[in-house]
Chains A and B, each alone.
Chain A
Amino acid sequence: MGVPFTFVHAADLHLDSPFKGLTKVPAAVRERLRESTFVALGKLSEVVEKEKADFVVLAGDLFDVADRSLRAQLRLQRALGTMTAHGARVFIVHGNHDPESGRQARLDWPEGVFAFGSATVGCIPAYSRKGDLVAHVYGISYPTPSVTDNLALRFKKREGAPFHLALLHANVDGDPSHDNYAPCKLEELITSGFDYWALGHVHDRRVLSEYPHVVYAGNMQGRSIRETGGKGAYVVSVNEAGSIEMKFKDLADVLWREIPVSIEGMESEQQLKNRLLSALEAVRGEAGGRPSVVRIKLEGRGMLHERLLQPNVAEEWIEELREWLGEPEETDAWIWPESIAVRTGGIVRLESVAEEEGFVGELIRGGLAATEHSDASRELLDEAMETLRKQPKIREWLESRSHEERSQWIVQALELSVSLLREDRDGADNRS
């Protein structure tokens, strides 16, 4: 078919992205996290150099915000300079996080970097390091943060190259966990005649199709507890016959992990402590020398449940845990317990309480009924949070919660209510 070549497919760099879900972070952790997207970028440069990639495609969301912080721009400029200095060209499209409409103050790209415009789908020939034409690279950037057109349909193959690579930031088949921008169908991509769709936007890497390849590279560094595990880029090798070999390179500098810990059968805090520590040590072992941010999800039913529901208890536990683990300044492979999500239940099951007559039974019946339907849970939440809804930030956040989260809250509220109402509260009598 043609000359063999190698390219690197990365996406969603989200440079200088802030990290969600962190509170009371010590300087070492914050610093490491803040640098992590850049470290991942640096590792990407190393991969490009080591693999002798002929070119690099970056499928959008290079920056976290349209504003593109100066630091992010400076660092990216430098990294791209390194890549092009190694002889690799770089092709870029912009996505919903860094659309063209972003503020115009921006730095120039180094030579050998091609950013596609947003007006039409561009086509740029890509050459191997030896100078052979190896592919046509097509791409289009987002003009604005919100693009609801099907951009994929605008891609038209132009003959004259042995390989056709489409670079796009899009949501294929409407992934519900991501904003539905540039929506398109996998079927459309497959039948479009391109050899490789280098996609961005979805942060979990996935190969939707092979021959033609439709690939999300995922982001290069997890940014919140929702983006757990290894993150990185694909090194794609195309041989003479046109067969494609993909290697995933883990570039993440800091790992995000969510670990479930059951309180079932535990009777004392000491047991819980031991179990938490061993779970965290396991995480440390799996991290391979990298630091980890960990959310502990306490599950199961046990005696500790009611104690965990007390105000600030989870908070206290996380503080304790951080103390036990020691200062993150002391090691490079630190573990930062981000939070403890208490998803435990009392020994008594809510369902059985719901069977009871009386106030508590009535209460639980009502609550559980609200978890049945999305509308019901929303209504209950809205009603309960009447006062907070006046705060736009909180309202926005509340509205973006899913039914599952709401149901989870309702269940927790029920657990809390039961534990409160079940307590034997004889009147605090002042008579003797």
Chain B
Amino acid sequence: MYIRELKVDGYGALHGLNLELDAAVNVIYGPNEAGKSTLLRFVRSMLYGFPNRKDMVERGEPMSGGRHGGRIVISDEAGESWLLERYAERGGEITLRDGVGAVRVLGQAEWERWMLGGISERLFRQLFSVSLNELHELRTLQGEEIGNYLYNAGLAGGSSLSAARRQVGSEMDRLFRPKGTTQEMNRLLISMKEIETEIRSSRDAVRQYGEAREGLEQVELELSSLESGFPELRLQAAKLQSAYDLREWWLKREALLEADAGLRRSLPDPSAQLLAEGTAQIWSEMKSKRDEAKTKLSVEQSALQDLRSRRELLDWDERRVIALPEAERLEALREVVTAKREERSELEAERRTLDETVQATLSRISAEWGEAELQAFGGLAAEREQVRKLQQAWEETERGTMSYHAELRKLERQKEVLRSEESYSISGNLNEGDQAGSVTSREALSADDYFVPRTKPALLQAWHRAEDARRNYDRARTSVRPSRTTANSRGTSDDKARGSALLFLIAGLLGAAAIAIFFFLSGSNGVETSMAYGVFGGLLLLSALVVFLAFSSSSSSSRSGSRTRSRATSSAEEGQSNPSADYNVNLQLYRKQFNESLRQLMNDPQSAATSLIQENSDYAPLDIQEHSEMEDTVWQKLREAVHERLEQLEEVERGESKRQELRNRMHELQVEKDLVERDSEELGRQADALHASWRNWLEVRKLPLHLAPDNLPELLGMAEQGQAALRQRQRVTERSDTLSHAIKEFEQAASRLMETCPPPVGLGSEIGRAVQWIYGDSVKHLARKEEAGHLERELAGADAAVRSAGAELETAAYRIERLLQEAGGATEAELEHRLRIDQRSAEIRLEAREIQLRLESGRDSESRDQLYALLQQHDEASLFTLLSDRKAVLAQEEERRSGLLDRRGRLTQELERLRVESELEDKRQRLLELQSKLELLSERYAILAISDKLIARTKAVYEEERQPEVLRRASRYFKQMTNGAYCRIIAPGDTKALLAETEDRRVLDSIFLSRGTQEQLYLSMRFALCAAASPDHPLPLLLDDLFVHFDESRLIQSLPILQDLAKERQVILFTCHRHVARTIAEGIPTARAVTLGE
């Protein structure tokens, strides 16, 4: 691309500037502030757009007017040129006009690709639009893009390569940095190290556990041995303690025992045992008992004396006492006898009254009766029963006679009724039926003429037979009909026969229907039997008519229809071949049978038929149709006649049976009447017998004969009354006798008593009072006797009491004696002294025993002995010393034990802690998790690193292959510029440095070169890179005063290089040094010099 013309509208200090740059090498000279650098920036802005306002210098807002922007004319190698137009106000939009005026509006990217060969703005600035600043950038090769671009063709300017490496690199940096601390992997590594340290420090857990357990076992062992020693120690201490505590008591006991011994010594026999406990009490009891016994004895003796004197005062008469029971009995009877006497006199009066009553009754009954008769008037109940029965029989007889009479009258009436009914029934039959064949209806009579059978079954049988015969006949005829019709189809007889056959069939059917209907109706509905009969008869007659018609028309109306028959036969003969003969014979046979059966049915079939169908007979000769109809009619009529006849027959039978019944009833009535009469006579005889027996009964009892049985109850009542009076009188008499006897007995006994116990004078005459007195006296004597007995018994008791009191006294004395003997035969005083001593002794001993119990309780014999030994051997002070020593030992041991227990607790806790901690221990897991994470990240890192490494390697390959060309070219330029002072530029792959090789093969790092030489080296590199960077679209090279540090000779040396470059691309040089401009213009003849600011 060549820049042909610059047209600045407004940019920085410039405006309205037009500059033609049509040469290969253009030198633009201008003093300072002429606008050279501004022009350079203007070109960059035209090609790459206006920067935003952050970079106001580069943006170049017009300072002295003009529209911000401008135009440049460019052309390609082929010479085609475009006018490019770019204004800031249009947002950097590029307007391109070609030679013929066509306008294109382009975007920046499109523009760069199309005309700038994909060189980025940055690369353009570094390689093509270079000022001194940019020149030095190359020294550090910071513009890696350039390198990338160099080594990597076809990668869109190499930006993606560096972007990829940047991306990879940044991710790697995030993951890990050699000395970093915040990167993920670095952090992981640090954490892992920490955990590892922890693990190392916690490795001793097992050992600790083991030690703790061993320690625990040791402690347990010690504890158990300690525990086993404890009881003995404690026991000893306790013994000492108790000995110490009990010492007081022991001393007391010793004193008591001493006192006791003293007491005993005061006794005559100091060694004597204590008397049994309670002896003192017994002794005093005994003494009091003896005193009591003495007192009691004297009391009893005085009581006995008193009783004896009382007994001697009592006296009584023994006889009186013996007589007392008799006197008592009589005294009891005395009142009774007085009462009996009064009763006897009352009874006498009553007897007399009863006598009168009897006499009165006798006179009322019969003059002839005395008391004997009355007595003899037997058992009244039996008599009464006899009379009652008689009376009853009498009444029954009378009632029987009356009922017989009534029955006879009733029978007579019934007979009368029957007779009238009989006569009525006879007169009814005269209208409805016949009686014994004497009376008949007209129709029945006429029917009688037709039919032979006189009874219903016979008639039915005959009729059925006739029907069967007709059917047979009919069938016989029809059975051959087909052959005949085939043989010859004409012949009236045949037709007729057929017709008649049809008639027969119809008649049969009708008959059958009639019968069926009959049975149906009669079976289903008895009420309509008469109607059924009617229908039945009608149908039967009809069938009979039909039969008849068939009969007459078809064949054997022999007597009347010979003509027809002959014609039929002839026609049959005519038309029939041999087989028909047989048929004829058959037909004949059936016909005969039919006739026969008809004859059996009727007296005169022919005439009967005629009479039956007299109105229709003239149809006989009519044509077949009519004929057959007539046959049907005849047979039907016949059937009706038969059925009518059957009906009549039934009617007659019914009437007869009714009459028979009436006659039977009449006869029964007669028989009954005879029987009643006979019974009535029998009853009359019984009544007579009864009368006789009644009279006889009266006679026997000497009763008036006029008495009727009706009077008898009255008579009987009086008799009964009489008899009752009699019996009463008898009882009164007997009672009176009894009383007299009892009184007599009493008087005798009283006199006997008075003999043995004479009452006081004056009373002897009055038996009652005497008895009373004797009784009172006897009672008194008895009382005295009893009192004496009582006193005697008391005397005996008192005597016994005296004796026992004496014995008691003796016993008491004896026991006192015994006691004294036991106590050593001493006197009572001595005993009492001893008792006192003993009591005191016992008290002392009891106290001593209590103390001993206190000392010895809960101790076995051994420890008891030990205790006593201790008490005896040690005084209080030494005991106390012993005790406190032992206590100190015990306390020491206790302390040791609590220490051990404490230790055991701690060790157990330690073990538990270790166990729990071990359960919670997860450092290794955490470590491994970190490790896993680290591995994951390492893997990612490895992938990234490999990726980076591969890119780097490939890039290195590219450097190997492509770099020499650039360097060769750069070396050539450098050698040219330095006039051979340096012959080569070296760019090692592993560093960013650029080396320069001198003529004499010395290699210098470019940073050590002089500034001018440095700039020459960089320029050489730049020129070489330009060629490599835009081989397809050679971009113009804009150099802003790069030669200021060149000496003249090196500047001149550089000119051929510029010339050389200008062959490929446009070169535009800016300078503010006139000599530079002149030198170049002189050195390059084709160069165009432009002066700015003039």
Question: By the criterion CB–CB under 8 Å, are A393 and B934 in contact?
Answer: yes
Beta-carbon contacts of B1039-1057 to A below 8 Å, as 1s and 0s?
0000000000000000000
| Chain A residues numbered 66-88 whose CB sits less than 8 Å from any CB in chain B | 67-71, 73-74
Distance in Å: Cβ of B917 to nearest Cβ of chain A: 8
CB distance from B209 to the nearest CB of A (A): 5
Q: How far is the CA of A106 from the CA of B211 in the complex (A)?
A: 11
Binding site for B on A (CB under 8 A): 16, 18-23, 25, 30, 33-34, 65, 67-71, 73-74, 103, 105-107, 311, 339, 357-359, 362-363, 366-367, 380-381, 383-385, 387-388, 390-391, 393-394, 397-398, 409-410, 412-414, 416-417, 420-421, 423-427, 429-432
Taking a contact as CB atoms closer than 8 A, the residue among B152, B168, B942 that contacts A420 in the complex is B168
Asked if A388 and B210 sit within 8 Å, CB to CB, the answer is no
User: Quick one: which of B788-809 are within 8 Å of A by CB?
Assistant: none
Residues in B with CB closer than 8 Å to A107 are: 206, 209-210
Neighbouring B residues of A430 by C-beta, 8 Å: 51-52
Residues A420 and B929 in contact, CB atoms below 8 Å apart = no
Q: How far is the CB of A424 from chain B (nearest CB, A)?
A: 8
Q: Which of B171, B939, B954 contacts A366 (CB 8 A)?
A: B954
Does B164 touch A at the CB level, under 8 Å?
yes
Between B109, B171, B922, B932, the greatest number of chain A beta carbons within 10 A of the residue's beta carbon is seen for B932
Q: 9 additional contacts, CB 8 Å, given A105-B210, A107-B206?
A: A18-B924, A70-B206, A70-B914, A363-B953, A367-B950, A397-B938, A398-B942, A420-B167, A430-B52
Chain A residues near B161: list those with CB within 8 A. Answer: 359, 421
Q: Are B109 and A384 in contact (CB under 8 A)?
A: no
Collect the chain A residues with CB atoms within 8 Å of residue B953's CB: 363, 366
Interface string of B911-938 (1 = CB under 8 A from A): 0001100110110110111011111101
Contacts of B929 in A (CB 8 A): 18, 22-23, 25
User: Is residue B246 within 8 Å, beta carbon to beta carbon, of the partner chain?
Assistant: no
| Neighbour of B918 across the interface among A33, A70, A426, A431, CB < 8 A | A70
* Complex contact A432–B52 (CB within 8 A): yes
CB of B489, distance to nearest CB on chain A (Å): 101
A409:B942 contact, CB within 8 angstroms: yes
CA–CA, A255 and B556, complex, Å:
124
Instruction: Let me know if B10 is at the binding interface, CB within 8 A.
Output: no
**Are B925 and A384 closer than 8 Å at their CB atoms?**
no
Q: Which residues from chain A contact B948 at a C-beta distance below 8 Å?
A: 384
Chain A residues near B941: list those with CB within 8 A: 385, 388
- The answer to whether B932 touches A22, judged by C-beta atoms less than 8 angstroms apart, is yes
Given contacts A383-B949, A397-B938, A413-B950, contact A74 B120 (CB under 8 A): no
Q: A34-B925, A358-B153, A385-B941 are in contact. Are A431 and B121 (CB under 8 A)?
A: yes
B163 on the A face (CB < 8 A)? yes
Are A384 and B942 neighbours in the complex by a CB distance under 8 Å? yes
User: How many angstroms from the CA of A383 to the CA of B939 in the assembled complex?
Assistant: 15
Give the Cβ gap from B88 to chain A, nearest Cβ, in Å. 9
11 cross-chain CB contacts under 8 A: A18-B925, A20-B931, A69-B924, A70-B205, A74-B918, A363-B954, A366-B957, A380-B949, A388-B938, A393-B192, A431-B121
Given contacts A34-B925, A384-B949, are A390 and B178 in contact (CB under 8 A)?
yes
Q: Is B365 an interface residue (CB 8 A)?
A: no
Cα distance A420–B160 in the bound complex, in angstroms: 8
> Which residues in B have their C-beta under 8 angstroms from that of A103?
203, 206-207
Q: Does B947 contact A (CB under 8 A)?
A: yes
B548 touches A (CB below 8 Å): no
Instruction: Say whether B108 faces chain A, with CB atoms less than 8 Å apart.
Output: yes
Report chain B residues within 8 Å CB of A30. Answer: 922, 925
Q: Is B60 an interface residue when CB atoms closer than 8 A count as contact? A: no
| Closest chain A residue to B148, Cβ basis | A359
B928 touches A34 (CB 8 A): no
Residue from the list B109, B160, B207, B943 in contact with A421, Cβ < 8 A:
B160
Interface contact B958-A362, CB-CB below 8 Å: yes
CB pair B155 A358 closer than 8 Å: yes
> Given the interface contacts A359-B152, A432-B91, does A106 sit within 8 Å of B206 by beta carbon?
yes
With A74-B918, A429-B121, A430-B52 known as contacts, the answer to whether A416 contacts B943 (CB < 8 A) is yes
Cβ-closest chain A residue relative to B176: A388
List the B side residues contacting A391 at CB < 8 Å.
Answer: 189
Q: B189's contact among A21, A366, A393, by CB below 8 Å, is which?
A: A393
- Shortest C-beta distance, B278 to chain A (Å), equals 75
Closest to B958 in A: A359
- CB pair A70–B209 under 8 Å, yes or no, is yes
Give Cα A272 to B940, complex, Å.
Answer: 22
Q: What residue of chain B has the Cβ atom nearest to residue A64's Cβ?
A: B924
B927 touches A394 (CB 8 A): no
Q: State the CA gap A381–B950 with chains docked (Å).
A: 10
B433 interface residue (CB < 8 Å to A): no
Quick one: which of B924, B933, B946 contacts A384, CB cutoff 8 A?
B946
B945→A421 contact, CB < 8 A: no
Q: Which of A34, A362, A414, A417 has the most chain B CB atoms closer than 10 A to its own CB?
A: A417
B193 to chain A, nearest CB (A): 9
Across the A-B interface, give the 8 residue pairs with the lowest CB-CB distance, nearest first.
Answer: A105-B206, A384-B945, A413-B946, A420-B164, A18-B928, A384-B949, A105-B207, A70-B918
Q: List, in ascending order, chain B residues with CB within 8 A of A105's CB.
A: 204, 206-207, 209-210
User: Do A409 and B954 contact each other (CB < 8 Å), given the known contacts A103-B206, A359-B155?
Assistant: no
In whole angstroms, what is the CA distance A70 to B921 when docked?
A: 9
Asked whether any CB of chain A lies closer than 8 Å to the CB of B816, the reply is no
CA distance A427 to B943 in the complex (A): 26
- In the assembly, what is the distance between CA of A69 and CA of B922, in Å? 10
Q: Are B954 and A362 in contact (CB under 8 A)?
A: yes
- A366 in contact with B950 given A21-B932, A393-B192, A431-B50 (CB within 8 Å): yes
Whole-angstrom CA separation of A393 from B921 in the bound complex = 23
- Is the CB–CB distance between B171 and A311 below 8 Å? yes
Contact B160 A423 (CB under 8 A): yes
Residue interface mask B241-283, A partner, CB < 8 A = 1: 0000000000000000000000000000000000000000000
Distance between A401 CB and nearest chain B CB, rounded to angstroms: 9
Question: Shortest Cβ distance from B152 into chain A, in angstroms?
Answer: 5
A21 and B925 CA atoms in complex are apart in Å by: 10
Across the interface, name the chain B residue whose C-beta is closest to A315: B936
B751 contacts partner chain A, Cβ-Cβ < 8 Å: no
Chain B residues with Cβ below 8 Å from A362 are: 954, 957-958
Q: How far is the CB of B652 from chain A (nearest CB, A)?
A: 111
Min CB–CB distance B181 → chain A (angstroms): 14
Contacts of A409 in B (CB 8 A): 939, 942-943, 946
Give CA–CA (A362, B185) in the complex, Å.
32
Chain A residues with CB below 8 A from B535, complex form:
none
A389 and B524 alpha carbons, distance in the complex (Å): 130
**B206 near A425: Cβ-Cβ < 8 Å:** no
* Residue numbers in B under 8 Å from A421 (CB-CB): 155, 160-161, 164, 951
CA distance A19 to B921 in the complex (A): 14
Closest to A35 in B: B919
| Closest partner residue, chain B, to A339 (CB atom) | B936
- 8 A Cβ contacts from B195-224 to A: 203-207, 209-210
Q: Which residue of B lies closest to A16 (CB)?
A: B924
CB contacts (< 8 Å) of A393 on chain B: these are: 189, 192, 931, 934
Q: Which residues 169-189 of B sit at the A interface, judged by CB distance below 8 A?
A: 171, 176-178, 185, 189
From known contacts A397-B935, A427-B157, A432-B92, infer whether A416 and B928 are also in contact, taking CB-CB under 8 Å: no
Give complex CA distance A356, B936 in Å.
33
A421→B162 CA distance, assembly (Å): 9
Q: Interface 1/0s, chain B 978-1006, versus A by CB < 8 A? A: 00000000000000000000000000000
Min distance, Cβ A65 to any Cβ of chain B, angstroms: 8
The docked-state distance in angstroms from the alpha carbon of A221 to that of B943 is: 32
Contact A69 B155 (CB under 8 A): no
**What separation, in Å, do the CA atoms of A410 and B168 have in the docked complex?**
14
Chain A residues within 8 Å of B915, by CB: 70, 74
A107 to B214, CA, bound (A): 11
Judging by beta carbons under 8 Å apart, are A413 and B206 in contact?
no
**Interface assignment of B156: CB less than 8 Å from any CB of chain A:** yes
With contacts A21-B932, A25-B929, A70-B918 taken as known, whether A427 is within 8 angstroms of B946 at the C-beta atoms is: no
The complex places the Cα of A19 from the Cα of B922 at a distance, in Å, of: 11
